[in-house]
């Protein structure tokens, strides 16, 4: 179910969509993603969290929230990441994404950003695709369109990043992780969408199915994890996700300002 959900994400994006956003969103995204993931490893160590949980948290914040978290978890050798730690990331990143969707549009308006700038920042900093699009369209159609396309740039990085992490994590590991064949489905649907082979109705259906699959995965994680074991992690995982979310917003604002000079 997890792998199907990730594979179907490929139907959301295509080359034509990504090329319409121009160079500025691409530069901002390519700056934010490595800084966020690198900071997750450093801050996670400082907070005393397991390195793999910190990595999953960093990718979740940097790329696309729950989808990215469960995709990375799928290539981690079995037994190396407890379900309760993955669920801690999933719950935290979902909550922070919702808060960001509500808080960032008025914040950017207060700071005097134009609608296109606001859309770029929302797409670069909110975790889930639906959350980023929703926040953008609360501002204007222009902001919503740019937020959605910028967010899809981040989603497009999911497959190459997970392939790279899978190779690195399993290079010297004695644990067993399944080959991420679901990424082939992601890339295939991305290619078909880019070539215009997916009708709009089918694209919408696949996107909805992807969302449903990921919701089932979240529910399954919850059923396999007891509340005491989840709460036993304490405040540190949520603190890490909060710090990373704030850092991502600041990095997006700073990089947009620098690349606009």
Crossing angle for the helix pair 66-74 and 51-59, to the nearest 10 degrees: 140
Per-residue confidence (pLDDT) for residue 193, from 0 to 100: 79
Residue that wins the pLDDT comparison between 161 and 198: 161
- Given this model, what pLDDT does residue 174 score? 57
Contact 40, 55 (CB under 8 A): yes
pLDDT in tens, 123-133: 999 988 878 88
Measured CA distances, 171 to 42, 160, 165 (Å): 22, 17, 10
Which of 22-36, 104-118, 134-148 bottoms out in mean pLDDT, i.e. has the lowest? Answer: 134-148
225 vs 194, which has greater pLDDT? 194
* φ and ψ at residue 56, rounded to 5 degrees: -60, -40
Q: What's the first-to-final CA gap in the chain, in angstroms? A: 45
- 179 pLDDT band (50/70/90 cuts)? low
72-93 residue pLDDT tens: 988 888 878 887 888 889 888 9
pLDDT per residue as tens digits for the range 100-114: 999 999 999 999 999
Above 70 in pLDDT, residue 152? yes
Per-residue pLDDT, 144 = 86
Query: Which pair of tokens denotes residue 145?
Result: 């369109």
The pLDDT score that the predictor gives to residue 212 is 76
- Domain ranges for the chain, please list them: 13-178+234-256
Least confident window among 22-26, 61-65, 223-227:
223-227
Q: How far is residue 54's CA from residue 48's CA, in Å, rounded to a whole number?
A: 10
Greater confidence (61 vs 186) lies with 61
Count CA within 13 A, CB hemisphere, residue 252.
29
- To the question of pTM greater than 0.95 for the whole model, the response is no
Q: In angstroms, rounded to a whole number, what is the distance separating the alpha carbons of residues 140 and 8?
A: 28
pLDDT interval class at 226 (50, 70, 90): low
Query: pLDDT averaged over the chain?
Result: 84
The residue ranking higher by pLDDT, 129 or 172, is 129
Residues 119-126 have a mean pLDDT of 96
Residues 130 and 127: their CA atoms lie apart, in Å, by: 9
Instruction: Compute how many other C-beta atoms are within 10 angstroms of the C-beta atom of residue 28.
Output: 29
| CA distances for 168 relative to 35, 71, 76, 205, angstroms | 19, 15, 10, 34
* Integer-rounded Cα radius of gyration of the chain: 18
Cα(162)–Cα(73) distance, rounded to whole angstroms?
9
Q: Alpha-carbon distance 114 to 130, whole Å?
A: 21
CA pseudo-torsion sign 219, 37, 183, 97 = positive
Max mean pLDDT range (54-68, 163-177, 194-208) = 54-68
Write b or e for each residue in 231-259: b if 16 or more Cβ atoms lie within 10 A of its Cβ, otherwise e: eebeebbbebbbbbbebbbebbbebbeee
Please give the pLDDT value at position 123.
Answer: 95
Residue 20: its pLDDT value, please?
66
Q: How confident is the model at residue 250 (pLDDT cuts 50, 70, 90)?
A: very high
**Half-sphere exposure of 35 toward its Cβ, with a 13 Å CA cutoff?**
20
Q: What is the mean pLDDT of residues 31-59?
A: 96
């Amino acid at each position: 179910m997890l792998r199907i959900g990730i594979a179907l994400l490929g139907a959301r994006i295509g080359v034509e969509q990504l090329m319409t956003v121009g160079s500025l969103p691409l530069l901002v995204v390519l700056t934010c993603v490595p800084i966020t993931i690198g900071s997750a490893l450093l801050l996670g160590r400082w907070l005393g969290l397991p390195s793999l949980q910190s990595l999953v948290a960093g990718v979740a914040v940097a790329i696309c929230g729950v989808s990215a978290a469960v995709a990375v978890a799928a290539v981690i050798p079995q037994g190396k990441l407890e379900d309760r730690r993955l669920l801690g990331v999933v719950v935290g990143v979902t909550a922070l994404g919702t808060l960001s969707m509500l808080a960032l549009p008025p914040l950017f308006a207060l700071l005097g950003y134009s609608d296109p700038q606001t859309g770029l920042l929302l797409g670069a900093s909110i975790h889930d695709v639906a959350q980023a699009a929703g926040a953008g369209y609360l501002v204007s159609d222009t902001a919503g369109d740019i937020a959605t396309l910028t967010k899809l740039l981040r989603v497009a990085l999911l497959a190459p990043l997970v392939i790279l992490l899978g190779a690195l994590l399993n290079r010297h590991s004695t644990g067993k992780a399944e080959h991420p064949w679901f990424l082939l489905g992601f890339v295939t649907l991305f290619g078909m969408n880019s070539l215009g082979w997916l009708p709009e109705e089918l694209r919408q259906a696949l996107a909805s199915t992807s969302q449903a699959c990921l919701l089932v995965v979240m529910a399954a994680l919850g059923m396999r994890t007891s509340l005491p074991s989840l709460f036993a992690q304490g405040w540190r995982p949520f603190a890490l996700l909060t710090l990373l979310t704030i850092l991502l917003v600041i990095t997006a604002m700073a990089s947009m300002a620098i690349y606009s000079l």
